[in-house]
Amino acid sequence: MSIATPVRELPGRSKVPFEVLEEKARFIRLETVRLTRIAGAGHYSAVFSCAELLAALYYRELRIDPREPAHPARDRFVLSKGHAAIGLYPVLADLGFYEPELLESFTRMGSPFGDHPDMKKIPGIDFSSGSLGHGLSVGAGMALATRLAGHSANVWVMTGDGELGEGQIWEAAMAAAHHRLGRLRVIVDANQLCIDGFTRDVMAVEPIDERFRAFGWDVHRIDGHDLPAILATFDALPSQDHGAPQCIIADTVKGRGVARMELSPDWHVGNLVGQDYDDVVAELEGGQG
Amino acid sequence: MSTQPLTGTGEQDWQDQSEVFNGTADTGLRDARSSDGNDTRQIPAFVFGEELADLAEEDPRIVVLTADLGRASRANDFRERHPERFFNTGIAEKNMITMAAGMASAGCVPFASTFASFAALLGAEQIRTDCAYPRMPVRVVGHHSGISLGFYGTSHHSLEDLGIMRTIADLTVVAATDANHLRAVLRAAVDHPGAMYIRLGRGRDPQVYETPPEVRFGRSLTVREGGDLTIISVGSTVHPALEAAARLGEHGIGVRVIDMYSIRPLDREAIERAARETGRILVVEEANLTNGLGTAVGEVLLELGLPGVRFRKHGVPDEHVPVGPPAALYAHYRLDAPGIEAVAKELL
């Protein structure tokens, strides 16, 4: 299947050391705090749980080209937990997909940057999201289509753990294993909380590992804030067109990096003002990652 | 508990609806709405897979999906010729539609098919959020629409699909009338920008077009001229509307029949012309009267504000349909030729 002709070769995977990735994770958290102030409300804590994962993906793992965002053979990333887009927008700007100044319009009237990402407005966003539970189906479709086209593209999907309550996730999980989509990789950002509280109290999603395994996936379970562990896991993933799809369960802490937000159900959406804003920025600048 | 039968017996086809699931219609039965014993090779569902397989010979982007209804829709005809581009998602319609959107984002033109009730109601959010909103060229094909599944009941009826689909921005909504029309719709759909919902009938709809007509989304086809009344119809009710028009013609009443196959965008010009030239508009559809084609046409007429235009919309009233074979239900709701003729006379 010849669908589109690439202009240039994709760059290889970068070898950015994890110390740099730690700085990028800090950058993601700080930018999330800064952009939320523009909007007056934002999803801090759902970004903080996946900051290391986003850094590892975008600065090291994904084969993408900001000069050719729609390269047909590129790796794909679907942010199924679309409410974490505020943490992804600064990364794409930092990588050169668009000018960082554009982010100043975040959520303002007519901005390309809403709370949930829009692929038709933002270069580098591979699919629009916002309604939870859809992204794994999108990724399965991408993996089928790129395999059909003969591209060796890896397709990554990031979901939350609360999101696994959506039945469509399991429809897609079944289909991915059935079609042996060996290049499909889901990262479950298991940050333990959904909006109304701990997932174990609201709707038990564990054992996530056994559940994906039962659906025919290879499962890896790691500390989602441990960058060396993340990189080692990514590096060890098999790259094969036909094989078991790969599930990486990243055990994380919702709100990680800001003490008051960690595992707090009060901070799914919030707004820092005045001294609180300055305190949180100082905490992030001084703290770990 | 009453066993008193409702109006309409539908003796012609009540015996066997098994072809719905096995995709064969060689039952020797005649459709109750057809007076000529139509050729079973000329029925829409049966050319669906074949036409797409032909198109796919030249176009590597075309893929076909079904959710365990490849026999019913004859999507399996596509599988026979392009097995590598055929995907059966099993009984998982939401996944099918969103997966098709993911494939479309990577360059495919997917035709994702299932019963209309499951496509448009179960999959409504996936159609809006994953297909229409990101303007993915997904063609969601809802077959066996309306009440064509007869006694399978409300769970299998799609009387709400037109109403739901026509309120979704950036979605083209089209209904196929017969086999030749379906071929034309599928051909025009391949390169049409953005997402589409394509509504098919039961797969037994009698022939209206001798050859594939020229289809342009946003336009309509006038299939009979007349100056006293216009029947605007779509899909499965075009043929009985034509029959009704012919009967009225025998009594000297000139009835124009418009096949308004493009429900969204709508051919406003044809509606205005019909209103000005015939003064009476009857919309006939196999759909709930709330927010279907009749409502869409009525909105146009209200905005035009032409004096003296008489308007009526005719379809299934706002209720859940009783048990019955399709032909009996069409008779009950006056959606067969005699019924449409009677309703038209009331408007005249």
ipTM reported for the complex, 2 dp = 0.93
Q: What angle do CA A253, A258, A260 make, to 5 degrees?
A: 95
A70 interface with B at CB cutoff 8 Å: no
Cα separation, B285 vs A144, whole angstroms: 38
Q: What is the pLDDT of residue B86?
A: 98
State the smallest CA–CA distance between residue A124 and chain B in angstroms. Answer: 13
Q: Is residue A5 part of a domain?
A: no
SS3 B259: strand
The letter for the amino acid at B339 is G
- Assign B194 to helix, strand or coil: coil
Q: Looking at chain A, which residue has its C-alpha nearest residue B56?
A: A1
Tell if the CB–CB gap between B107 and A179 is shorter than 8 Å: no
- CA of A176, closest CA in chain B: separation in Å? 10
Residue A288's pLDDT is: 55
Residues across chain B: 348
Min CA distance, A167 vs chain B (Å)?
9
Asked if the model's pLDDT at residue A96 lies above 80, the reply is yes
Per CATH, the number for B22-27+39-199 is 3.40.50.970
CA–CA distance, B146 with B285 (Å, rounded to integer) = 9
Residues near B62 by beta carbon (within 8 Å), at least 6 away in sequence: B52, B55, B56, B82, B85, B108, B109, B110, B111, B190
Residue A1 lies in a domain: no
Average pLDDT over residues A256-266: 94
**Residue B193: its chain A contacts at CB < 8 A?**
none
Average pLDDT of chain A is 95
Q: Tell me which residue range forms the domain holding A77.
A: 18-286
Q: Are B178 and B44 in contact (CB under 8 A)?
A: yes
Say whether A137 and B102 touch across the interface (CB within 8 A): yes
pLDDT score, position B202: 83
Is residue B25 pLDDT above 80, yes or no? no
Alpha-carbon gap, residue A112 to A123, rounded angstroms: 10
Chain A residues within an 8 Å CB radius of B94? 137, 167-168, 171
In this predicted structure, the answer to whether residue B30 has a pLDDT above a threshold of 50 is no
Whether residue A270 is contained in a domain is answered as yes
What is the band of A3 on the pLDDT scale with cuts at 50, 70, 90? low
Q: Which of A134, A139, A140 sits opposite B129 (nearest CB)?
A: A134
The residue whose two tokens read 């595992």 is: A263
Percent of all residues in chain A with a pLDDT value above 90, rounded to a whole number = 89
pLDDT (0 to 100) of residue B203 = 79
Query: Is A72 within 8 Å of chain B by CB?
Result: yes
Q: Which residue spans of chain B are classified as CATH 3.40.50.920?
A: 221-347
Q: Which of A144, A169, A178 to mutate to test the interface with B (most CBs of B within 10 A)?
A: A144
Give the separation between CA A235 and CA B160, rounded to whole angstroms: 50
What value does the mean pLDDT take over residues B214-237? 98
Residue A112 pLDDT > 80: yes
Coil/strand/helix, residue B339: helix
Return the residue of A nearest to B99 by Cα: A141
Residue A141 has its nearest CB partner, among B84, B103, B133, at B103
A174 shares contact with chain B (CB less than 8 Å): yes
* Amino acid (1-letter code) at residue A221: R
Has residue B41 got a pLDDT over 70?
no
**What are the residue ranges of CATH 3.40.50.970 in chain B?**
22-27+39-199
User: Is residue A244 in a domain?
Assistant: yes
**Closest B-chain CA to A1:** B60
Q: Which residues pair with A77 in a beta bridge?
A: A156
Q: Does A4 touch chain B (CB under 8 A)?
A: yes
Spatial CA neighbour of A32 closest among A97, A96, A83, A99: A83
Helix (H, G, I), strand (E, B) or coil at B199: strand
- Convert B178-200 to b/e letters by CB count within 10 Å (16 or more is b): bbbbbbbbbebbbebeebbbbbb
Instruction: Check CB contact of B134 with chain A, cutoff 8 Å.
Output: yes
For residue A117, being part of any structural domain is answered with yes
Whether residues B87 and A145 touch (CB distance < 8 A) is answered with: no
Of B42-51, B99-108, B118-127, B327-336, where does mean pLDDT reach its minimum? Answer: B42-51
Under an 8 A CB cutoff, do A127 and B102 touch? yes
Residue of chain A minimizing CA distance to B96: A137
Q: Which residues of B touch A245 (CB under 8 A)?
A: none
Q: Which CATH class is domain B221-347?
A: alpha beta
Q: How many structural domains compose chain A?
A: 1
* Chain A residues inside the 8 Å CB shell of B129: 128, 130-131, 134
Confidence bin at B27 (pLDDT 50/70/90):
very low
Summarize the confidence of residues A50-74 as an average pLDDT. 97
CATH of the domain at A87: 3.40.50.970
Assess if residue A6 is contained within a domain: no
